[in-house]
Structure 1
Amino acid sequence: MIDFYSWTTPNGRKVSIMLEECGLPYETHAINIMQDEQFAPEFLEISPNNKIPAIVDRETGTTLMESGAILLYLAKKTGKFLPSDEAGYWKVMEWLMWQMGGFGPMLGQAHHFVHFNPDKAPYATERYKKEARRLYGVLDRQLADNDYVAGDYSIADMAIWPWASRFEWQDVDLNDFPSVKRWYLDVAARPAVQRGYQVPKDMGPIPMP
């Protein structure tokens, strides 16, 4: 059993989707970041950075924060969604790190300056809108010749897709990126993705382009 601490964010949904895809039993503990529950002392013991998601594996006693580390741990634990061959492994790692270092952080800034605080900081608004489109262009070129980001469906797709699911917050039209749109819809049609999207609570249908 996995204790899963999360909220309705792209980083949280990476892990809930992976848990559903792997079929691992888990218990969800909602951490409402809008009410600062991530700063509670008991959560700090699990996640020293006061960020969701985090897990506790009751079987091994392992406690982990950081969504990328959790995805890798679950992939190693189950032997799923991470290639065992050297070339395939590093291709997934490459795109997982791309998400962790670029696609997530930059789109997170777009959420602040484009969605929540539009046009109040013109330089930031323009910067992050432009960077969002650049990153979608990188992803579109990669998906032009690949069904999934790193070959077969993997934790790289699970890491990237939830951030793409907030395309409206980023002022991005997926119709401008046809390969991303095709991939986005394919991933969204997976039953485990549909279930994982609604953890820890139902936020309505998956956004569609």
Structure 2
Amino acid sequence: MIDLYTWVTPNGYKVHILLEELGLDYTAHAVNIQQGEQFEPDFLRISPNNRIPAIVDHDGPDGQPLSVFESGAIMLYLAEKTGCFLPAEPRARVAMQEWLMFQMGNVGPMFGQVGHFTQYAPRRIDYAVDRYTREMGRLLGVMDRRLGETDYLAGDYGLADMATFPWVRSARRFGADLCDYPNLNRWYQAIRARPAVDRGLAVLAEYKNATPLSDQAKEQLFGDTQYQRR
């Protein structure tokens, strides 16, 4: 059994989707980051960086519980545990790791900045909006070019695709038009049609909220609370 501590964000969805693809037995626990639950001591014990998602695998490598934080580390751990979605062949394995790190180091951070400066910043900063929006477009172009050569980011469907899909999904909300990236759009539609992806996106669906963030929520996410030493 795996306890999953998560929220309805792209990084949360990455792990939801992988767990559904693997068919593992898990229980999802909502960590409401808009209400500051990520700062509670019990959560910090398993995720010291106060970020979701995190897991506790009650059947760890030595038969004892093991906690894992950081979405990429969780995905690699689960792939190693099950022998799925991370190829054994060295060249294919490196390709999957490359494109997973591409998401972790580029797509997530840059797309996240687009979302922040276009939707949540207290005032518009044209330089920041332009810089990060253009970088998002560049990264979408990198993926579109790659997906003109292969069906999925690393060749076969795997961790890199599950990690990247929720962020490309968010890019549409941030103003990107996937019709401008036909290879990426083909990839996006293929992944969206997978039943496990549909189930992963439905995890904690009752917490999805399309209304603007309250001032209290913005304080928990972006204000002084975020920077307190704990």
TM-score, structure 2 as length reference: 0.86
Sequence identity (%): 53
Displaced runs of 4+ in structure 1, greater than 4 A? none
Note if 1:99 corresponds to 2:103.
yes
Counterpart-to-counterpart distance in 2, 1:156 and 1:173: 21
Matches within 5 A, 1:156-167: 156-167=160-171
Counterpart-to-counterpart distance in 1, 2:120 and 2:191: 27
Matches within 5 A, 1:14-163: 14-60=14-60, 61-117=65-121, 120-163=124-167
Report the counterpart of residue 207 of structure 1 in structure 2.
Answer: none
* RMSD of aligned alpha carbons: 1.3
1:141-196 superposed Cα distances (whole Å, 9 cap, x missing partner): 00011111101100000010010011233211000000110000000000000000
Counterpart-to-counterpart distance in 2, 1:175 and 1:50: 36
Unmatched 5+ residue regions in structure 2? 210-230
Counterpart-to-counterpart distance in 2, 1:34 and 1:194: 24
Note if 1:201 corresponds to 2:200.
no
Indicate if the aligned counterparts of 1:96 and 1:155 stay in contact, CA closer than 8 A.
yes
Equivalenced residue count is 204
Report the counterpart of residue 174 of structure 2 in structure 1.
Answer: 170
One-letter amino acid of the counterpart of residue 9, structure 1 = T
Report the counterpart of residue 186 of structure 2 in structure 1.
Answer: 182
Report the counterpart of residue 5 of structure 1 in structure 2.
Answer: 5
Unmatched 5+ residue regions in structure 1? 205-209
One-letter amino acid of the counterpart of residue 57, structure 1 = D
Indicate if the aligned counterparts of 1:114 and 1:171 stay in contact, CA closer than 8 A.
no
TM-score, structure 1 as length reference: 0.95
Larger radius of gyration: 2
Deviation at 1:119, TM superposition (A): 6.9
One-letter amino acid of the counterpart of residue 16, structure 2 = S
One-letter amino acid of the counterpart of residue 121, structure 1 = I
One-letter amino acid of the counterpart of residue 45, structure 2 = E
- The alignment partner of 1:35 has SS state of coil
